[in-house]
Amino acid sequence: DSGVTQTPKHLITATGQRVTLRCSPRSGDLSVYWYQQSLDQGLQFLIQYYNGEERAKGNILERFSAQQFPDLHSELNLSSLELGDSALYFCASSVGSGGRKSTDTQYFGPGTRLTVL
Amino acid sequence: AQTVTQSQPEMSVQEAETVTLSCTYDTSENNYYLFWYKQPPSRQMILVIRQEAYKQQNATENRFSVNFQKAAKSFSLKISDSQLGDTAMYFCAFMNPGAGSYQLTFGKGTKLSVIP
């Protein structure tokens, strides 16, 4: 158990709908990262938040958005869902944010499996 | 942009034998970090081992060790005394903290099967 929690574990929805995925980081971790794992794209970084502020953006669609709340949990919002959005969405957390010489390991949650029908 | 390449989509090894998974990467950075993550059938991403580029000594964690060749931009994972529980997808990942983020860039993965 990494200490990172994600809810729900599974989500089945229809095209055009909107869903929210939730992540609680490990105790003491200030950074939250979202990744998408799909068969065709592999594991891709979507976005990072550090202590409530957006820190880095990757291959995140405009239909997707995220935020980190004062209690440091994060939500990933996916809207106007398409079949191709079906994937496993991971949240990871780390203590720091980047930009230092010493690395900071990311610990992953169990993921949310999203199926768009 | 950094890229990570895992050229072996699938591999198999007999239980108790040794196997090496390959990973190459492309970067112009000098200070970076490399990781191997394991994803068993449960889909959980588990950190196996990490290597700091400024360290010449290869990282080791129990049965897992790496062969880090900075000039060749190669980062292979050796699993000794393979166990059935090692059956999983293995992902090589790159991190450049100097970019201001600890985001990871992953390879496509190698599916390892340990045969009894």
pLDDT in tens, B13-35: 999 999 999 999 999 888 899 99
Pairs across A and B, CB distance < 8 A: 78
Half-sphere exposure of A55 (CA within 13 A, CB side): 24
Best residue in A34, A43, A108 for a mutation probing chain B (most B CBs within 10 Å): A43
Assess B31–A contact: CB distance below 8 Å, yes or no: yes
User: Shortest CB distance from B31 goes to which of A56, A101, A106?
Assistant: A101
- Is B70 a residue whose pLDDT tops 60? yes
Q: Residue B111, SS3?
A: strand
Kindly determine whether residue B50 and residue A31, on different chains, have CB atoms separated by under 8 Å. Answer: no
- Per-residue confidence (pLDDT) for residue A101, from 0 to 100: 46
Kindly determine whether residue B100 and residue A58, on different chains, have CB atoms separated by under 8 Å. Answer: no
- Other CB atoms within 10 A of residue B99 CB: 14
Which residues fall within 8 angstroms of residue B57, CB to CB, at 6 or more apart?
none
- Per-residue confidence (pLDDT) for residue B15, from 0 to 100: 97
pLDDT-based confidence at residue A97 (cuts at 50, 70, 90): low
Contact indicator for A66, A108 with CB cutoff of 8 Å? no
Q: Which tokens sit at B71? A: 């000039």
Q: Residue B67, SS3?
A: strand
